[in-house]
Structure 1
């Protein structure tokens, strides 16, 4: 009976190399989408644009790339609010709010904000690049 330890060891090393390559490709694809999302992002003071980041999570069963923002208001900008909210999920009546300082200082009435899907648009516009990068043809 032959010893397969060398073969098994080389297979394990090859698998780790493939996982590392796919992880690097995923990171590159995330950077491409992140850059496009920042380009598409609406800007008032630039905080939302600056908060857009990406990360890659590699586990035993999958490699996941994530692009997004941790700012509390990011989903409201992306999905819209009030009567303009995506899928009609927003408030149906106007509301008022007060801004204490800055260029919008004062009391305002609103019916909501139209969606500005900067992340979704970035993903869709870079789909062919993502496919090429993840396919190893960067």
Structure 2
């Protein structure tokens, strides 16, 4: 619905001119509806293309990651070092790994229960990210 001013001319806002308001671009409502339906179809196509592109990118990342990572695991009885998680009271030359522990149980793949060398159990299971094989 056009806006008319006092002298019969149509009022057009500067923003309508800059961004191409539909009432200025299209001559009829049918033409606007047809264009809108075409743009909806194109939008769906673009969305599907984006999904395909994202899947291809993630597949490439997975291949790259799998190529440069080595799977590791520990078995019961292995000696491991545990990462020091609390650095309070340590300085920059303090070792980042704590004394050797013995793997006593595999709770989940990548999760291990540890015990100290004298047989005392360490509280919680530890993730493999925080463990490192100890070579005596």
Q: TM-score, normalised by structure 1?
A: 0.38
Name the larger-Rg structure: 2
Q: TM-score, normalised by structure 2?
A: 0.38
**Between Structure 1 and Structure 2, which shows a larger proportion of helix residues?**
1
